[in-house]
Amino acid sequence: MKFALCSSSLDMSNLCFEGLRCNTASLPLNKPFLGFGFLAKNENVQESYCNSKRMVISSHLLPGHLEGSFMGKKRLEEPSRKLEFVRTLLIDNYDSYTYNIYQELSVVNGVPPVVVKNDEWTWEEVCHYLYEEKAFDNIVISPGPGSPTCAVDIGICLRLLLECRDIPILGICLGHQALGYAHGAQIVHASEPVHGRMSEIEHNGCRLFNNIPSGKKSGFKVVRYHSLVIDAESLPKELVPIAWTTSTGTHSFLESQNSDLIPDACESQIRPGISFDTFSPGLNNGTSWSFSHSNEVQRRKILMGIMHSTRPHYGLQFHPESIATCHGRKIFENFREITLDYWQRLRSTFLNERHVFYTACMQLHGASQLFGVPRAGPLECNEDALPFRENTRRRQLLGNVDEKNFFSMSSLSSFPESSIGAKHLKLKWRKFDQLASQLGGARNIFCELFGANKAENTFWLDSSSVEKKRARFSFMGGKGGQLWKQITFRLSDQSDMAFKDGGYLSVEYAQGTTRSMYLEKGFLDFLNQELLSFRYDEKDFEGLPFDFYGGYIGYIGYNLKVECGMLSNRYKSKTPDACFFFADNFIVIDHRYDVYIMSIQEGNTANTPWLDDVEQKLLHLEASAAKKLGKQPSQPAKFSPCKAGFLAEKLKEQYINDVHKCLEYIKDGESYELCLTTQIRKRVGDIDSLGLYLHLREKNPAPYAAWLNFSNENLCICCSSPERFLRLNRNGVLEAKPIKGTMARGATQEEDEQLKLQLQCSEKDQAENLMIVDLLRNDLGRVCEPGSVHVPCLMDVESYATVHTMVSTIRGKKRSNVNAVDCIRAAFPGGSMTGAPKLRSMELLDSLENCSRGIYSGSIGFFSYNQTFDLNIVIRTIVMHEGEASIGAGGAIVALSNPEDEYDEMILKTNAPAKAVVEFQ
């Protein structure tokens, strides 16, 4: 990557900062991917075309090209009243941590910010809402991939920093670098990329750090996600350094947790705020700041914060919104106070009377997400404007992803009529106490009731690993009653990387009839319409300890990322992109040993033939001995998938070369973490698929395992996943449990404990996990109540049959105005399979991987008719399709990755499923 060189420099005799200069001097105008729309439309625009994507570079975005107009003068001249809450315009640079900032600001400001992509508004629209509508009191610029020197990466942010000199602005990471670059500082590579790692911070006591400790062992440690830095030697006079690392070293999260802090050190080292934040034109970093530190401490410090000497503009290189950053919320609180005080100092009264519509909306709970901002004309409080706001509700709700990927309630009539046509579902169920163990467990029950005829058209969401309360319930069934059906969806063909909306849905009904239709708005919209069509009585499932009462069971393939914000898929999947049964009759195994039989019917009826029949079968099984199905072969001492006949999509050399490419992308700031994957394949012919699955679950039990057999598609899925993607329970609580960090089990107990400890203490694996935890917090933050997203378990190590894994848990309370499919759109695909930032990382991965992931990296689980759901991440899985077994595997590439080790980890993850195939053949 190339960066612009600027001539301005700063004599910083009292501080020495790290800055690795670049050798190139040209601005990058032609990134080979990503064109998220256009920048401001004006006469000073240069256009460049690369790979059929239009790039726009505005002369206003280059340092020194804009004098600034101080356009907000009239804001200060008009009488006003003091406001009671702060309204923030949050500029999203297509990052995966923006909604962590959103959550923090919602709590701190008393009202949620309005989130706008960096290329969503023209400059004229920005001016309209800032200076005519007076809709916002401050601006926060989010982190993001890339560099502020690239117009596609930074969008309108540079112009905001240059022209909005009278509005408080806080830039984070990329926003911080943009503040420096906008005023002439040079953006350079850091000596090493630092992502998901922590540093101690020292600051100068300015108001942004008011009541926050400073220095070594003070307790002020922050999380960093960056490969680029501002070269401190190029910092112009008008920019003041306000924070820096105490040393060049970094810390892992657990190391930081276990560090020896001096008692009361945090309180004793708090520095009071100083008066330089009055933004006097005479203030500059050459004369107004002085530091007295030893030469040893000064050496090679890294600039972590800057402020403008005459404007209320701040920048932070670190991420205050990260779960592991100390005093992060306090920084946002301080910025709120700076905003309030700034307006008070500049005029006798505070702000002009607010626009009536904004006042009404912003005082509503979650209002900024309920109402979209029109792209033309002022916000008028009249009835004619309401339909537009309703149409944009979903788009605003989930972060302003392109409207084509969302639907509003007003568009439901355009969908095909619900294929079930049910107006009211009635649930009937029976419970059998302590019956599961008497019948030989879930395995025996499934084989006896559903294992005949090769278990065609059957499902089993199988909690085969229940120790340590990892899972409790299993759901199983087959082709059932009158409401049973199978739906199969395939995305439209794509060419030249151009996304085409929608795809083809086929429906097979219980009566044997089929129906095909084209879904212009895609599968998730169809699924949402189906779930919204159901009516039910909550009393029907009172007393049940689980959340699935009937509905859809199946999978969502990785390529459905195009319905969740991605623009395209490079490769078409060989398997359907989504496939589900509508389960109306099924069995639930409570692994505390109870058995439930469940049946849903349309309308009220006294007939329960399926329940009666299954009850008799269970009672007949009660006295029979548990049977075992499948072979019990011996295991070879050593195993190699390639030597066992599996063919790899990429040879070792190719995979390692791709890891090196990932490391280059990370070095250049394009991603913080990339989950690179590949697949291995083997012809298996007419194998006993159920026997294979039973063998896999015995050798590699997992809490989110699954068996799916879609006979008409010649498709069987044998999944032994240890990872939950996302769950929504009946209380509206969302939960994600990402896995990042994997280590093989040891041959002896002593070796096993050492390897477990090695994983727990690995700075690399902690960094991987922390990055995905912050990403999942962001995804949940898009649909959860402000302040409700939390992390009850961070970086726990869980042990399975073949590996140790590092697992975290993220939870949040779903907002009442969003539904189940909204939650999926906000978070799919699971961040542990993409990396961060998610959109940019998926684009990079599409350019590196040479086949579709298909079902691998997608999700298997259920959508209950009452809008609860539970989905896994499809890993450690054998997909058998048309006589071929395929297994996907990969790993997260981070700055600390070793290419050889990454290849070994990928192979390790294929071992359990590949060995099951070889042993069972």
Question: Using only C-alpha atoms, what is the Rg of the chain?
Answer: 29
CB–CB of 738/830 below 8 Å? yes
The residues facing 739 across adjacent strands are: 807
Give me the torsion for CA of 604, 608, 610, 613, rounded to 10°: 180
Alpha carbon distance 245, 300 (integer Å):
9
Q: Which helix (H) or strand (E) holds 860?
A: strand 859-864
Amino acid in the structure at residue 644: A
Amino acid in the structure at residue 198: M
Whose structure tokens read 């009671």? 84
Amino acid in the structure at residue 331: I
CB–CB of 209/240 below 8 Å? no
Q: What's the N-to-C CA distance of the chain in angstroms?
A: 50
- Got the DSSP string for 442-499? HHHHHHHHH-SGGGTT-EEEE----GGGS--EEEEE-S-STT-EEEEEEEPP-BTTB-
Burial grade of 632 (CB within 10 A; 0-12, 13-18, 19 or more): exposed
CA-nearest of 478, 422, 420 to 448 is 478
Alpha carbon distance 142, 90 (integer Å):
7
CB–CB of 702/876 below 8 Å? yes
Contacts of 876 (CB under 8 A, 6+ apart): 700, 702, 719, 720, 721, 722, 909, 912, 913
- Got the DSSP string for 198-247? EEEEEE---GGGTT---STTSS-EEEEEEEEEE-GGG--TTEEEEEEESS
The residues facing 505 across adjacent strands are: 489, 517
Q: Which residues are catalytic?
A: 173, 319, 321
Number of neighbouring beta carbons within 10 Å of residue 610: 18
872 is written with which tokens? Answer: 């896994």
Alpha carbon distance 353, 371 (integer Å):
20
358 is written with which tokens? Answer: 């904004």
Contacts of 675 (CB under 8 A, 6+ apart): 832, 833, 834, 835, 841, 845, 890, 891, 892, 893
Per DSSP bridges, beta strands 169-172 and 313-316 are: parallel
According to DSSP, residue 431 is labeled E
Alpha carbon distance 111, 86 (integer Å):
7
Estimate to the nearest angstrom the gap between the alpha carbon of 365 and the chain centroid: 24
Alpha carbon distance 827, 524 (integer Å):
13
Alpha carbon distance 775, 753 (integer Å):
30
Alpha carbon distance 646, 560 (integer Å):
27
728 is written with which tokens? Answer: 């929504």
Q: Which helix (H) or strand (E) holds 711?
A: none
Cα separation values, 414 from 408, 409, 832, Å: 11, 10, 35
CA-nearest of 871, 868, 870 to 536 is 868
Whats the size of the chain, residue-wise? Answer: 921
Helix axes 609-621, 441-450, angle to 10 degrees: 120
Alpha carbon distance 536, 545 (integer Å):
18
Helix axes 689-699, 441-450, angle to 10 degrees: 170
The HSE-up count of residue 836 (CA atoms within 13 Å, CB side) is 29
